[in-house]
Structure 1
Amino acid sequence: MLTKKLAEDIVHQTMLRLRHNINVISPSGVILASGDKMRVENIHEGALYVAQTKETLIINEENIALYPNTKPGINMPIMYQDEVVGVIGITGDSDDMLEIANLVQLTTEIMAHQAIVESKSE
């Protein structure tokens, strides 16, 4: 599963390459790591929805009222063996976010898979 250390590594490595804030959130909606340190350990209502539905959620000005404690952006599930092990969120409201988010999701899942496999082999 996602540890706080792995979440921090994902945020750090991703934010080195992107100009957007990144959040890594547990399946229970708790922000484990974020470029915005003030958000860590807060509940992210949008991520809760993503964890429950396994669906990508785009939060914008039209629906942000439905998801308290969120900012505009995209939230995607981090999957491992068809189970949600976390949620990756990218803050921002540009139209090219989905393309970026898909790459971030893929990279995050690869990092999570590697960490999970390594922890199981130990």
Structure 2
Amino acid sequence: MQISSSLGMSIVTEVKKIIHEDLTFMDKSCRIIACTDERRIGDFHEASRKMLDEGLKELTVPDDDTYQGTRSGINLTLELEGQVVGVVGITGNEEEVSRYGQVVKKMTEILLLESYLKEEKIRERSARNRFLQEWLMTDELRMNPALVDEGISQGIDVMAARRAAVLEHTGNSIMSQEDGNGLNTGFAAS
């Protein structure tokens, strides 16, 4: 999952409201994509590089001069569906901010998962709409196996016989339909 700067900024802003500490969000390229100190956005974050290269789950930074682009505090990797997606850092005195570490990590992962699930739902709805449009526009004689397979994956048997009716509301008029015997059947529109 690629995390956008806007999503990262939304997350650090929300979490800061709760813990009142500065937060930094780095993507897998080890660039700061969101930070409560906006002057740091875009900077390289060496501590996150060390974490990702060495597979570390957590890294404490004792002072601002230990790693390039990094301030004292604690950094934690973020995972989504078993994949590392970035690093979140809490700036401050190690003893003070380390108590927030796992809470911030879990909150951030929950917010990332929520965003991921929303995106997934939109993708699924879009795929279903695209499928339905293609199906409705395809002549039964030109129905290809790929469309049939996609219908099955969507839970729709595209080969089953169906009838469709299109009604138009034209006010309070009576519409009629001729049945197979030449008789008119009246329908009242409401």
TM-score by length of 1: 0.90
Is 2:100 aligned against 1:117?
Answer: no
Query: What RMSD in Å do the two structures reach over aligned CA positions?
Result: 1.6
- Who is 1:58 aligned against? 60
Identity of aligned residues (%): 24
1:46-96 deviation line (CA, Å, top 9, x unaligned): 1122233142000003x943x211110100011012211111000011414
Write the distance in 1 (CA, Å) between the matches of 2:77 and 2:87.
Answer: 4
- Who is 2:46 aligned against? 45
Q: List, as ranges, runs of 4+ consecutive aligned residues in structure 1 with deviation greater than 4 Å.
A: none
Is 2:2 aligned against 1:5?
Answer: no
Q: Which amino acid counterpart does residue 55 of structure 1 have in structure 2?
A: K
Write the distance in 2 (CA, Å) between the matches of 1:38 and 1:60.
Answer: 21
- Who is 1:35 aligned against? 36
2:60–2:94 CA contact under 8 A, matched in 1 = no
Is 2:45 aligned against 1:68?
Answer: no
1:54–1:84 CA contact under 8 A, matched in 2 = no
2:78–2:105 CA contact under 8 A, matched in 1 = yes
1:28–1:51 CA contact under 8 A, matched in 2 = no
Write the distance in 2 (CA, Å) between the matches of 1:57 and 1:49.
Answer: 9
Q: Which amino acid counterpart does residue 70 of structure 2 have in structure 1?
A: T
Q: Map 1:71-90 onto structure 2 (within 5 A).
A: 71-90=71-90
Write the distance in 1 (CA, Å) between the matches of 2:114 and 2:17.
Answer: 20
Give the stretch that moved more between structures: 19-28 or 52-61. 52-61
Give the stretch that moved more between structures: 92-101 or 110-119. 92-101
2:91–2:97 CA contact under 8 A, matched in 1 = no
Q: Shift of residue 11 of structure 1?
A: 1.0
Q: Which amino acid counterpart does residue 48 of structure 2 have in structure 1?
A: A
Secondary structure of the structure 2 residue equivalent to 1:29: coil
TM-score by length of 2: 0.59
Write the distance in 1 (CA, Å) between the matches of 2:121 and 2:32.
Answer: 27
Write the distance in 1 (CA, Å) between the matches of 2:36 and 2:98.
Answer: 19
2:77–2:84 CA contact under 8 A, matched in 1 = yes
Secondary structure of the structure 2 residue equivalent to 1:95: helix
1:24–1:32 CA contact under 8 A, matched in 2 = yes
How many residue pairs align between the two structures?
A: 120
Larger radius of gyration: 2
- Structure 2 unmatched ranges of 5 or more: 123-190
